[in-house]
Structure 1
């Protein structure tokens, strides 16, 4: 049992390190206009929460503020938002936006959502948009987030649905496999909860049973293959790309874009699942 616990901790630490590395690198493209979906789905998550003025919100895996900034607007000057992410460069982007919008009710933290140290029942709402799947034990992470929700408060988990970014995703990994088979990944972490039943089961394992789950189908337009490459450079794919030397990187890029051009890809799938639970 002790050996298994140590192994789990090592896997968790490795996952955090990889996620921080990938998204710190991706920060230079993360807010490019072609990747507007980050903020669109963040706003949609906050809309479903129906935040009230004066409420206190914890937003983890907050990226460059896609959900934290609209939450701060909703709760107003008498409310407060804590925005947390492992990637310091994304937090810097979010902080700059908050300053531009003169939002003084947000605290920014570069930290691990599993080790924040807040007491039980600290927040009226806890939010995690496109981040819960980076933790090897998602149920453990949800239990920790749920612990910090006040009675009567809400937990919002937003994750990707099936076929994320297809057909561009498949073309990307085909290009990687042709150059660096050892980096090819057939399984994405969000696949474990990309259907409502899987997400509901994971939440139940964390002790969250009464959940409103909404699955929405969507597509994101591309003006051309280069739009996709900017998305890849500003997302988790960057972690794989950072491991390539310059020549291999260019061959992967050309191979990926050629496939999209041949298939005349004009949009990618962006299916999303929203889960909202209220604590009795």
Structure 2
């Protein structure tokens, strides 16, 4: 099992690499689920918000819009390439109440009870000790504040995801993953249990089962390059990579797959 430092370095490397496709139109789901997370928080003007694993601002930027000029959003990520994209987007929207900062959210050293809302969208499962990580977020939340943890459910971009891994198992069995990090919290009961074990109170989990539309089979490959699967792709030699790509596109075309199943879990806790 890799150490915490190794896990952080690996995640940082993967998402810095994925930054070239992270904001491509095919990956519009980042913004969709980020916005939906913020919608569930009922933020008010003047609120102070911490967004960890913020990526390019899919939830942090909507939060900054909600809290207005008297509010403040601190957006943290370990991938500097994603942070720079977030800074560019916030400047384009003329948002002066948001700061994108490089850091490991488990070791921010920020004061206790200093935020009205804390958000982590599709990030908590990259941390080996999720209980300790959520406990640290809870510590920084003021009484009456809300913590939002958004994670993947049981189906994530199916059937394309499953086919992708079957091809990896055929071509490079050493890279095949029998489970993914979010498997630990892919059901409402397990996500709720994580928050409660971490000391969170008044925990509610909302499950959403939806579709992500593909305008073209190539959209799926763009998604592969712009997310966590990039780490696997970058370990393939060019010929194998192209073989996997062609097999994936052929699978989608042959089966007339125009939309992928995607399940999302939103956990909201109030202190």
After TM superposition, the score normalised by the length of structure 1 is 0.95
* In the alignment, structure 1 residue 16 sits paired with structure 2 residue 8: yes
Residue ranges of structure 2 left out of the alignment (5+ in a row): none
Which residue is 2:93 aligned to? Answer: 101
Deviations 1:3-61 (A, max 9, x none): xxxx7xx5211211111111111111111111101001101111110100111000000
TM superposition shift of 1:224 = 2.5
Q: Distance in 2 between matches of 1:251 and 1:216?
A: 34
* Alignment check: 8 A CA contact 2:192 2:204 kept: no
Matching residue of 1:118: 110
Equivalent residue number for residue 156 of structure 2 = 164
TM-score (norm. length: structure 2): 0.98
Superposed displacement of residue 108, structure 1: 1.1
- What's the counterpart of residue 150 of structure 1? 142
Aligned length: 271
Structure 1 runs, 4 residues or longer, greater than 3 Å off: none
Per-residue deviation, residues 39-91 of structure 1 (Å, max 9, x unmatched): 01101111110100111000000001000001001111111000001111100
Identify the match of residue 263 of structure 1 among 247, 255, 263.
255
* Contact residue 171 and residue 260 of structure 1 kept, 8 A: no
Deviation, 1:110, is 1.0
| 1:56-135 equivalences in 2 (<5 Å) | 56-135=48-127
Aligned residue number for residue 245 of structure 1 = 237
Question: Does the 8 Å contact 2:209/2:262 carry over to 1?
Answer: yes
CA contact (8 A) 1:60 1:85 kept: yes
**Partners in 2 of 1:13 and 1:259 — Cα distance?**
37
Please report how far the alpha carbon of residue 186 of structure 1 lies from its aligned counterpart in structure 2 after TM superposition: 1.8
Higher mean C-alpha deviation, range 137-146 or range 204-213:
204-213
